[in-house]
Amino acid sequence: MIKRELLLGDEALALGALHAGLSGVYAYPGTPSTEITEYIQGHPLTAERGIHCTWSANEKTAMEEALGLSFAGKRAPVCMKHVGMNVAADAFVNSAMTGANGGLVVVAADDPSMHSSQNEQDSRHYAIAAKLPMFEPSDAAESLAFAKLAYEVSEKFDTPVLLKMCTRVAHSQSVVEPSARQEVTPVPYEKNIAKFVMMPACAKARHPIVEQRTLALQAWAETAEINRMEDGADHSIGLIASSTSYQYVKEVCGSRYPVLKLGMVNPLPVEKIRAFAQSVA
């Protein structure tokens, strides 16, 4: 019988990545993301499985190291706070063109209200600009589940996945149900200059692939369980929410109004949103 645990959102995300079979983690410290790598460093599985843990010189270096491990066919997360996305942007946007090989999850921890940051920028804009899928968990249990799912999506659609945390999710606790670690066979590496080397000629050829991938991800989002409708007694209005905003909606409204809870915010499930809008006055 698996024992339930009370974990912070950061810790739960880290545990989900460990159980998904990651081979290494790369990060640059910064609240509210630091605890992810610290948890992995201290977990017994890390020493037992020889998982590579590195605090990198900066976020761009961390992104490139994680991307390299992905190219080698192994699963890796790269972790940073929201302002670190500015530093990692060159490698991050480029990774949308190359795609992944082994699963690659980019964790960006936003800090609304600037509890420990110089700004409160929204990392969702990076997902939209780069044309990459983005998940937003709303509590620790979803942080664990979404981390595991993100690796599956990454390898299925040949793409990095941006997983956005925020302070209230990263640093709040809820009960999670851990599972056994999944032992993953590395995806074989094959030399492919047209895919992995983004010289202009190669990048131009990759662009249609990125557009088709976006359409495929949008179709997947329409039926994905992480985007769900919750009925309410009063259909005079409907509420669409993600991340910690969903928790605020449920705290204030309970089950009074219908809610469309989005776990994947890019690309959006357009048809599901239309259907939800039509179901309310």
Q: Is 238 helix (H, G, I), strand (E, B) or coil?
A: coil
How far is 246 from 173, CA to CA, in rounded Å?
Answer: 16
Dihedral angle sign, alpha carbons of residues 108, 119, 261, 143? positive
pTM of the model: 0.95
Please report how many Cα atoms fall inside a 13 Å half-sphere around the Cα of residue 133, on the Cβ side: 37
- pLDDT for res 183: 87
Structure tokens at 48: 């037992």
How far is the first Cα of the chain from the last one, in angstroms, to the nearest whole number?
46
Sign of CA dihedral 145, 77, 33, 124: negative
Give the number of other Cβ atoms within 10 Å of residue 192's Cβ: 12
Measured torsion, CA atoms of residues 242, 245, 250, 255, in degrees rounded to the nearest 10? -50
- Are the CB atoms for 31 and 115 separated by under 8 Å? yes
Q: Is residue 14 within 8 Å of 40, Cβ to Cβ?
A: yes
pLDDT digits (tens, 9 = 90+) for 207-251: 999 999 999 999 999 999 999 999 999 999 999 999 999 999 999
Paired tokens of 130: 């780069």
Q: Residue 199: its pLDDT value, please?
A: 93
Residue 96's pLDDT is 96
Work out the widest C-alpha separation in the chain, in whole angstroms: 57
Residue pair 276/230 in contact by the 8 Å Cβ criterion: no
Q: What pLDDT score was predicted for residue 179?
A: 86
Q: Using CA atoms, how far apart are residues 18 and 271, in angstroms rounded to an integer?
A: 34
Name the stretches of the chain with pLDDT < 70. Answer: 1-2
AA identity, residue 278? Q
pLDDT mean across residues, the chain: 95
CA 172 from chain centre, in angstroms, equals 18
Helix axes of 34-42 and 9-19: crossing angle, nearest 10 degrees: 50
